[in-house]
Amino acid sequence: MRVLHFFKTYWPDTFGGVERTIHAIAKGTAKYGIQSDVLSLSSRPQQNTREFDGHIAYKAKLDFEFASTGFSREVFGRFRELSDKADIVHYHFPWPVMDVVHLTSRLKKPTVVTYHSDIVKQRILLQLYRPLMHRFLASVDRIVATSPNYLATSDVLQRYRAKTTVIPLGLDEGDYPRASNDVKARWRESFPKPFFLFVGVLRYYKGVHILLEAAKQTDIDILLIGEGPMEASLKAYAKEHCLGNVHFLGALPDADKAALLELSTGLVFPSHLRSEAFGLSLVEAAMFGKPMISCEIGTGTSFVNIEGETGIIVKPGNPAALADAMKRLGNDRNVARTLGRVARLRYEEHFTAERMGKAYAEIYHTLR
């Protein structure tokens, strides 16, 4: 069986949460006899069309971007060419151009949509897009929500509940090689005190500005791994307020990231808006057996992190609550370790790439 995944971006151009999910599905379903291809946009389509972990990442020429949406004239033809060879087309929502491509192609193949997120930021444009969105979602065969929390709180998904299945996102532990003792020793020397870790792209909805407010209320070290559009303003704020306990590490190689996950007291995940639909960084923390601090925003973050079992959940946009949670776990390492052990068990039960791959393979075979 051949499956075509379709999304606006993919490796090697970008490799964020949706892209990592596509990668994990492609790898995880291969053992069930499923060959995956991925079509996305790229400013350099010829150079960036290549094989990746057993599947081909195909590219169409990116013409321009507007409101976080990539546009391409070439993608219509590329989609028709590749979907003709596929048995199933797997869309990753949201991306309005994808809806247009699907509806104009008059596709006759079975279709699956992984519904990663509601459209939150572009509310005015959403009013114009809504009819197209519902026409697209009504036309596909199956929809997958990434958590029961998101299914329960999304007005859009409630409209299509009868054909919606929940498959939690999963990560492959094999993609996270454990750091060597030398690497860990180097980071231990740089940060000898207990610290909390943030991992993610520095975007508006990640709530890092709230975390910096919280940093003023504690002397616990906070290490931030990641880059993004908010980076300059966040660094300026930290400098202005003399936040010596906040350390911007930028993007790091996997070995360093793994070392810091192992050495950390826990993960702090201050996302305060519904744009944060799941939070794969929380799954990473659970995989490493670390307690989590997150916010209750009605999405998958509170499916990964369970209050009082795997970590602490606080109200969104509350710096004092974030600071208190870090103090609590930082001052009671026994509690932190206990929460971390349960987090690891929850990862094994719900969030492995193997479980996710098997669930998607079952959907594919029922549609074939």
Kind and range of the H or E element at 353? helix 353-367
Which residues in the chain land under pLDDT 70? 121-124, 126
Q: Give the per-residue pLDDT at 189.
A: 97
Q: Is the dihedral of CA 90, 92, 95, 96 positive or negative?
A: positive
Co-location of 73 and 103 in the same domain: yes
DSSP state of 163: G
Contact partners, residue 188, CB within 8 Å, separation at least 6 = 263
Co-location of 240 and 116 in the same domain: no
Co-location of 133 and 193 in the same domain: no
Co-location of 296 and 358 in the same domain: no
Q: Give the per-residue pLDDT at 245.
A: 98
Co-location of 360 and 329 in the same domain: no
Cβ atoms of residues 271 and 298 within 8 Å: no
Instruction: State how many domains the chain has.
Output: 2
What is the extent of the structural domain holding 138?
A: 2-171+352-367
For 309-325, b/e burial (b = at least 16 CB within 10 A) is ebbbbbebbbbebbbbb
At 68-126, the pLDDT tens digits run 789 999 999 999 999 999 999 999 999 999 999 999 998 999 999 999 998 876 666 76
State how far the Cα of 240 lies from the Cα of 202, in Å rounded to an integer: 18
Contact partners, residue 7, CB within 8 Å, separation at least 6 = 18, 19, 22, 38, 40, 91, 92, 95, 98
Q: Give the per-residue pLDDT at 120.
A: 72
Co-location of 320 and 358 in the same domain: no
Co-location of 317 and 252 in the same domain: yes
Co-location of 337 and 320 in the same domain: yes
Co-location of 123 and 247 in the same domain: no
Cβ atoms of residues 321 and 302 within 8 Å: no
State how far the Cα of 26 lies from the Cα of 77, in Å rounded to an integer: 23
Q: Give the per-residue pLDDT at 155.
A: 93
At 224-236, the pLDDT tens digits run 999 999 999 999 9
Q: What is the pTM assigned to this prediction? A: 0.91
Between helix 231-240 and helix 208-215 the angle, nearest 10°, is 10
Report the CATH number at residue 245. Answer: 3.40.50.2000
Co-location of 192 and 110 in the same domain: no
Q: Give the per-residue pLDDT at 123.
A: 64
Q: Give the per-residue pLDDT at 358.
A: 97
